[in-house]
Structure 1
């Protein structure tokens, strides 16, 4: 745990797990940790004192705070690796923007840093015309997620407000090894609390896929054509084990399992998925002890030379997984600023017919995380 290459993905994974734990384990959910983290990173640039430390603690656990391994340094590099990457069977797009009351004078250094680190422009808006402003901001979110997340910002979200910070993340990827639709089957999915339902499964036999396991969980890593991206499924060995696994899983353990993936001859059965979910992000962040930003003790004087606080935060994400690949989108709004190894010979069966966690990664950074129940 001595370098940012390990520390930041571990912190991001812990962050995503904390988001998931804000929702009961019997509800299907998807979140985009990186979307929320980029939003936090943008306000971090203009934060000071304890407010800055509070944000650093959750998005850069244990990492250096200056130079190459700083929060800005690491996330600027991650942003550049993800932003508007097309081709090779995968495309990713990140949109960052700060919408500010046109009457405000933002600090020039902050504006330059936002553009330099995260390609985030500051748009001066007339928050007095709330309906028009909400329509414009919602349009940006809708366009940047390829129409997947629309109408997220409404008139009541901007009325009498000072600014909104927005980060969206959109991903589309084709599997490296596509599933044959003719091999799909209907079968029973054993939900939590002993319930059962019929779902459509995708099947693959004798596939050479990355796999790892420990005493509690199997991990299947499904690569996209651009193999820097993968969908990693964490399947509890106990059919009713999701709640316990979710409670005990840590970012360090997740990253350790991902580092132990080995090529394995495996038979796969996984359900087709489509999940759309919203999250009370303000509550989630406060549960992670990011509370000063939402109080009168907040110090964002690096943004504007007056006292500001975050009075609202929202997050929404979707994911669709089928035979061809994955489409996923996430959007985060901070609103209302107010005054690999050798093949293993043994054949393994991976049958995801009960609740599991999933993490869509770029290298080992978690772009999307969720649970299917």
Structure 2
């Protein structure tokens, strides 16, 4: 993760998660029934987002950014749950917060969410989707692939993992295309025995409702911590913003709207209070602050920046309770009844760029799924014997030796 703008970490998280409890007037045109279908997941995904944040935050070094797509990671794990059974499924649903839901309801909620998220809007681009890269010769159960296509907008394509460099390039190019070249090299290497890779991508490009004037951008110091400062391009804008000051919780909240139905919520902890705010913050605080916003005259200064963060999530997800999926107890019989599978690696990368005109953000998640034990390789590339047996009479009906299959 890049060593820049540590204090922006919380704001970056909130950009990605605030939609989960976002009941702004922009949404008022949606029907109650329409809201209910996709909002079933909202509180659970928001809780997962903050739990994941705290686990990731415990691992980063001082001065490092955190940025990720909670929606992308929840979606990828939900796709995986479609093929999980038994304790493996239970652990996935428990960690995602879906214990009170069943798979069918989760699937239907995602189907509606993708319909809403991918609904094109003028001046805003938001694209969320999924793919499954399947090993040539490996045949997942049709029911699994059908559910991925129907409920998760899934694209399925074949990859020859026996040529790992070509497979890596093919998957990375697919991700780059979907994220408008923002995520280019997420997959670093692939095992030739890989069975399949589940892929999620999220891309967002939003224009500020009221852009910053580039002529007012100046060089200013940004204080990474008490002892470290860096020079940044600081954008400036004066106007009336949705604002709230929570003295009891030591935070200042400002919301910057984009054109369309999205906005960036910035939560600025008081000096020296970042750790304290990180310790208590939850979706309930976001909802409370959002509902307390009022218009106020603000002279806003905000850094212009571009960051990238990358993480391997396997150990983090195990800490959060998804254990069996990675080991010998994994049950993905909903993907294949013939080959025992397990998750070998979960990778995530996210980028965020903020400038005078707006914001561009992208993320991708990959779940690499391996056969639990490597199959014995048998290649009939030398002379072999063949027997055709009739079992009721225990007879050798035919037998022979194949020395030259072309003769």
Per the normalisation by structure 1, the TM-score is 0.82
- How far residue 92 of structure 1 moved from its aligned partner, in angstroms, is 1.2
Structure 2 equivalent of residue 4 of structure 1: 40
Larger Rg: 2
Identify unmatched segments of 5+ residues in structure 1.
Answer: 340-373
Secondary structure, counterpart of 2:277 in structure 1: helix
Secondary structure, counterpart of 1:115 in structure 2: helix
If asked which structure has higher relative contact order (CA below 8 Å, sep 6+), I would say 1
Identify unmatched segments of 5+ residues in structure 2.
Answer: 1-20, 22-35, 373-407
**1:309-357 deviation digits (Å, cap 9, x = unpaired):** 1011111110000110001110111114223xxxxxxxxxxxxxxxxxx
**As a proportion of its length, which structure holds more strand?**
1
2:266 is the alignment partner of 1:233: yes
Secondary structure, counterpart of 1:78 in structure 2: helix
Q: In 2, distance between residues paired with 1:259 and 1:308?
A: 46
Pick the aligned partner of 1:18 from 54, 64, 67.
Answer: 54
212 and 123 in structure 1: CA distance in 2 versus 1, 3 angstrom threshold: farther
Pick the aligned partner of 1:318 from 348, 351, 376.
Answer: 351
Displaced runs of 4+ in structure 1, greater than 4 A?
Answer: none
17 and 255 in structure 1: CA distance in 2 versus 1, 3 angstrom threshold: farther
Counterparts of residues 2-81 of structure 1 (less than 5 Å): 4=40, 7-18=43-54, 20-21=56-57, 22-24=59-61, 26-61=63-98, 63-65=100-102, 70-81=105-116
302 and 216 in structure 1: CA distance in 2 versus 1, 3 angstrom threshold: same
The answer to whether the 8 Å contact 1:186/1:198 transfers is yes
Pick the aligned partner of 1:256 from 282, 288, 298.
Answer: 288
The answer to whether the 8 Å contact 1:35/1:331 transfers is yes
**1:9-28 deviation digits (Å, cap 9, x = unpaired):** 43243245235424245212
15 and 116 in structure 1: CA distance in 2 versus 1, 3 angstrom threshold: farther
Structure 2 equivalent of residue 332 of structure 1: 365
Q: In 1, distance between residues paired with 2:152 and 2:43?
A: 20
The number of aligned residues is 333
The answer to whether the 8 Å contact 2:332/2:340 transfers is yes
Structure 2 equivalent of residue 208 of structure 1: 241
Structure 1 equivalent of residue 313 of structure 2: 281
2:164 is the alignment partner of 1:137: no
Measured on the aligned residues, the alpha-carbon RMSD in Å equals 2.3
Structure 2 equivalent of residue 117 of structure 1: 151
The answer to whether the 8 Å contact 2:353/2:360 transfers is yes
Secondary structure, counterpart of 1:106 in structure 2: coil
Per the normalisation by structure 2, the TM-score is 0.76
**1:199-251 deviation digits (Å, cap 9, x = unpaired):** 2211121323344535221221111101x2111111102x1222232232223
Structure 2 equivalent of residue 359 of structure 1: none
Secondary structure, counterpart of 2:67 in structure 1: strand
The answer to whether the 8 Å contact 1:15/1:59 transfers is no
Q: In 2, distance between residues paired with 1:251 and 1:20?
A: 17
The answer to whether the 8 Å contact 1:161/1:338 transfers is yes
